[in-house]
Structures are given as C-alpha cells and as structure tokens.
Amino acid sequence: MQDHPGGVKYLDTKPHRSLFERLTALISPEPENRAELLEILHDAHERNLIDADALSMIEGVFQVSDLSARDIMVPRPQMDVIDITKPIEEWMPLVLETAHSRFPAIDGDRDKVIGTLLAKDLLRYYAEESFDVRDMLRPAVFIPESKQLNVLLRDFRSNRNHMAIVVDEYGGVAGLITIEDVLEQIVGDIEDEYDFDEEEDNILPVKDGMRRLRWRVKALTEIEQLNETLGTNFSDEDVDTIGGLVANHLGRVPRKGDVFDIAGVRFEVLRADARQVHVLLVEKLPQPAQEEFS
C-alpha cells in the first residue's frame, strides 16, 4: 500500500525482488540461447530446485518444437488398418487383438485411406441387422511429413482429433501419428494394459549408405541380449540393462547427443530425459589389425 500524491492510497502490485536476487541478476547474465537455458535448468535440478519429472517435461517441450511428424510416426508397413472391401469377419480379429481405439480405413490399398473407424462404433455391428461400415467412418485427417509436432499438437487440441495420416511429397501414405505419440515426447511413454514390450524390437539394425553396421537399441534391453547380438562380452553383474551400463560408465544420467566408447563399442544417445536414457545408436568399432611377428 502506497500513498498517491493526492492522498489516495493504492496497492503496489509490482513484485519486489530481494537484494540477493538483484545482485544475482547483475552477476549472472540471462541465457542467450536454448542450450544455455537447458544448462541452467540442469543445474537447478542438481541443486534440487526442480525435480526430475519437471526437468524431463521441459526438455520434452523443447524437443517437440524440434521434431516433425516423420520423426515419430508409425511407418506405413506397421500401420494397423482395416480394409472395408473385405468382410468384417476378416478384420474383426485384428481389432480385438490390437485393441486400438481408432483405425485407418482403406479401400483396398494403403494409399487409399478413406476415413477413420472408431472401435466403439463397431458395437452397432452386434446390435443392428443392417450394418454398413462406410456409414460409421469419420473423416480422415492428412498432414505432411514435415509438419512440426508443436503445431500438430495445437491442431489436435483445437480440432479434437486424435489421429492423423502422414503423407509424403507425392501424396502417398507414409505412416500415421496419434496425439498420444506427441504427448509421449513430453511426458514419457504412456503405457496401458495393451502395450507390450516386444523383445524382438529391442535391437534393430540401422541401414545407411556408409556400409556401417549399427543398431538402434532400447535402453531397457538386457545386456545379455546385446552380447548375443553384437558378440560383445559386457558384464551384467552390477547392472542388467544397457541403460544402466552407459549410466555407470558416464557416472551420470546420459544426455541426448552424448557419444562415447566402451570396450570397442560406440554408443550415441538418441533419446533421453532428465531421469534416464531411452534409445541409443550402437556400433561395434573395427578392431585394429595385429602385427604378426616371425
């Protein structure tokens, strides 16, 4: 409360900073780019000013603004679709097995997505004698591969859509993406009772034009499985997973972009948050040729 020159009192709503805060602002300049801001946030986490969950979500928000639909979409071959040119009895087992809430509906070809079928609408199949799948379809949403995730998330929220079909520059279907896929980039994996950890997907070969054999490895992969695939001999006495192995090696939580070698194997962190590493790119380095002595 302060006095106005005319004698009228008014409330002073301007926040007052302590002397320490003002001195800190003079000594420590404001961050000039995102990297400096993240470094400050990591420092705040180490000093227990913000918890790991908060830091992870902040990093996820930054990551969303850097990624596009092509980076996280479900590729075309892995899409679960229903073909309405076939009898419902043929694709109903797929609906029951996958337990998705939405399915792209195609007209005989994966490039001919004509709508979206909500699984709950199939209940009418058991209640109505004359059931036509085409009448149940909702309009499909199409987006380009280059669409930024932050823009897509805003569109999902404003239009109340939950799934979009990703198309390439030629108009062909490249994959699909859901609002859950985008949110997982911010809050981490969203698992439900229908999510399964397929062991065969833990280690996937990566093809490139440099003739190098590399693998995309989930951090929760057991060390034993990596040893069997790469022919390595990492010990699993102290830790069980690849994520634990690299964290022990670095002495801290790995960060996205970290590249380091362990026993002749190169690891690159592709995805991580403040709590743990999620995905790594792994390459077995060539062994130096040994000289022969007669």
Q: Model confidence over 156-207: pLDDT tens digits?
A: 989 888 999 999 988 899 999 999 888 888 776 655 544 444 555 688 887 5
Q: Model confidence over 96-122: pLDDT tens digits?
A: 888 888 999 999 899 999 999 998 888
Give the whole-angstrom CA distance, residue 38 versus residue 16: 26
pLDDT at 122: 87
- Enter the tokens of residue 110: 């994966």
pLDDT at 195: 46
Domains of the chain (ranges; CATH) run 70-187 (3.10.580.10), 199-284 (3.30.465.10)
| 62: helix, strand or coil | helix
Higher pLDDT, 61 or 14: 61
Mean pLDDT, rounded, for 39-48: 81
Mean pLDDT, rounded, for 41-66: 80
Give the whole-angstrom CA distance, residue 57 versus residue 184: 10
pLDDT above 70 (res 5)? no
Burial class of 185 by CB neighbour count within 10 A (0 to 12, 13 to 18, 19+): buried
Higher pLDDT, 290 or 132: 132
Identify the residue whose tokens are 């239009």.
159
211: left (phi over 0), alpha (psi -120 to 50) or beta: left
- Enter the tokens of residue 173: 């279907």
Instruction: Please name every residue paired with 218 in a beta bridge, in sequence order, or none if there are none.
Output: 279
Identify the residue whose tokens are 């799934």.
163
pLDDT at 261: 94
138: DSSP letter: B
pLDDT at 67: 85
pLDDT above 90 (res 145)? yes
Q: Which pTM does this prediction carry? A: 0.56
Is residue 282 within 8 A of residue 265, CB to CB? The reply is: yes
CB atoms within 10 A of CB 163: 22
* Residue among 23, 60, 26 at smallest CA distance from 41: 60
Where b means 16+ CB within 10 Å and e means fewer, 215-240 reads: bebbbbbbbebbeebbeeeeeeeebe
- pLDDT band, residue 29 (cuts 50/70/90): low
Give me the DSSP letters along 202-242. SEEEE--TT---EEEEETTSBHHHHHHHH------SS-SBH
Give the whole-angstrom CA distance, residue 117 versus residue 100: 10
pLDDT at 63: 78
pLDDT at 58: 81
Q: Model confidence over 204-240: pLDDT tens digits?
A: 887 554 456 788 888 889 999 999 988 999 998 889 9
Q: Model confidence over 239-271: pLDDT tens digits?
A: 999 999 999 999 988 887 889 999 999 999 887
Give the whole-angstrom CA distance, residue 177 versus residue 68: 11
